[in-house]
Amino acid sequence: MLRNLSKTIVGFARDHKLAAFGAVIVLLFVITGIFAGQLAPKDPNQVSVRDSLVPPNAEFPLGADNNGRDVLSRIIFGARISLYVSMTSVGLAAFVGVLLGIVAAWYRWLRAPIMRLMDVLLAFPGIVIALTIIAILGRGIENVILAIAIYQIPQFARLAHGLALSAQEQTYVEAAVAGGESDVAILSRYVFPNIVAPIIVQVSLLIPGAIMTAAGLSFIGLGVPPPTAEWGAMLQLSLTWGRLAPHMTIFPGLALMLVVFGFNVLGDGLRDALDPRLKGRG
């Protein structure tokens, strides 16, 4: 079992070199997020007026911001916030969305109400829905997670709905119905396991969007509240200070782009590996 798994991974990495590179970036991102406390050279919130805006040097490898806080340490702790917000929001969206999609496929009378609601959500760009949720619930990290989850739910619901519609036509589902199994048992034991792979791919393709939206909300001042170290919030400061200290603009953006790039190429590779027909699709 374990040997098969490692064989699969090695094979995947050989066939999809760019995706393997993406996987390495994602892994580094996850490790950085989890061990931020051990990896960061300084306290990310340590203010030092004397070091305000100093360019990269031995003490501050990536320079300091307007409050003299270490940019490297803030980027490392920013990875933790990004990891936490993106994983929880996409996880929540996947759970609710897949549930809605499967239920809408199985119970015909629920199909129209659920899927029309999803259509309504899809009529708006993600950031607009997220901002609306913030307008209703107010600021704060939990509301950011909820805001991102809500705009991603229809993406999962639509996918799961389509997959479940064909999965439930299979003979083994018919057999389960004939055998008198309950709806919950059929959906969880026969339908769900057969649609799970494309959903995992969808998760990896939607995480970068979640990371970007979370940073975008902080950038416009409506996301994770300061002084929490967050990449979007760091870039917001650079709107004011970037002219004097370009390192405040360059490094947080680079971190953000690298992580998003990693997830994107990993997601592309996973999709290709899962369904070779889709190879190269936009």
Partner 1 sequence: MFRYISGRILIGIPILFLVITIVFFAFRLIPGDAARIIAGDEAPIERVEQIRRDLGLDRPAIVQYGAYLAGLARGDLGTSFSSRRPVATEIGSRYWNTFSLALAAITVATVVGVAMGVISALFRGRWADHLVTVAALLGISIPVFWLGLLLMQLFAVELGWLPAAGYGTWQHFVMPTITLSVFSIAFITRMTRSSLLETVQQDYVRTARAKGVRERLVLFMHSLRNALLPVTIVVGLRFGYMVGGAVITEEVFAWPGLGRLLILSVAQRDIPVVQGLLLVFATSFVVVNLLVDVLYAFLDPRIRHR
Residues 192-208: b if buried by 16+ CB within 10 A, e if exposed: beebeebbebbbbbbbb
Minimum CB distance to partner 1 smaller for 157 or for 173: 157
Q: CA 208, CA 16: separation in Å to the nearest integer?
A: 19
Token pair for 166: 């064909």
Under a CB-based contact definition with an 8 Å cutoff, are residues 110 and 103 in contact?
yes
Kindly report the length of the chain: 282
Q: Report how far apart, in Å, the C-alpha atoms of 102 and of each of 35, 56, 95, 116 are.
A: 37, 52, 11, 15
Minimum CB distance to partner 1 smaller for 10 or for 128: 128
Token pair for 73: 């340490």
* Number of CB atoms found within 10 A of residue 66's CB: 16
Residue with tokens 């239920």: 103
Q: Is 280 in the site for partner 1 (CB under 8 A)?
A: yes
Minimum CB distance to partner 1 smaller for 186 or for 212: 212
Least Å from the CB of residue 38 to partner 1: 27
How many of the chain's residues bind partner 1 (CB under 8 A)? 44
Q: Is 222 in the site for partner 1 (CB under 8 A)?
A: yes
Q: Is 179 in the site for partner 1 (CB under 8 A)?
A: no
Least Å from the CB of residue 115 to partner 1: 12
Q: Is 274 in the site for partner 1 (CB under 8 A)?
A: no
Angle at 146 between CA 195 and CA 32, to 5 degrees: 80
Token pair for 108: 């015909």
Q: CA 96, CA 64: separation in Å to the nearest integer?
A: 41
Least Å from the CB of residue 157 to partner 1: 15
Residue with tokens 């479940």: 164
One-letter amino acid for residue 276 of the chain: P
DSSP one-letter code for 192: G
Under a CB-based contact definition with an 8 Å cutoff, are residues 272 and 278 in contact?
yes
Least Å from the CB of residue 258 to partner 1: 8
Least Å from the CB of residue 100 to partner 1: 15
Binding to partner 1 in span 239-268, by CB under 8 A: 239, 242-243, 246, 249-250, 252-253, 256-257, 260-261, 264-265
Binding to partner 1 in span 82-111, by CB under 8 A: none
Binding to partner 1 in span 116-155, by CB under 8 A: 116-117, 119-120, 123-125, 127-128, 131-132, 134-138
Least Å from the CB of residue 194 to partner 1: 27
43-51, 170-178, 196-204, 217-225 -> range binding partner 1 (CB under 8 A): 217-225
Q: CA 32, CA 21: separation in Å to the nearest integer?
A: 17
Q: Is 66 in the site for partner 1 (CB under 8 A)?
A: no
Under a CB-based contact definition with an 8 Å cutoff, are residues 216 and 147 in contact?
no
Least Å from the CB of residue 235 to partner 1: 6
- Residues 33, 208, 223, 269: which binds partner 1 (CB under 8 A)? 208
Q: What is the contact surface with partner 1 in residues (CB under 8 A)?
A: 116-117, 119-120, 123-125, 127-128, 131-132, 134-138, 208, 212, 215-216, 219-222, 232, 235, 238-239, 242-243, 246, 249-250, 252-253, 256-257, 260-261, 264-265, 280-282
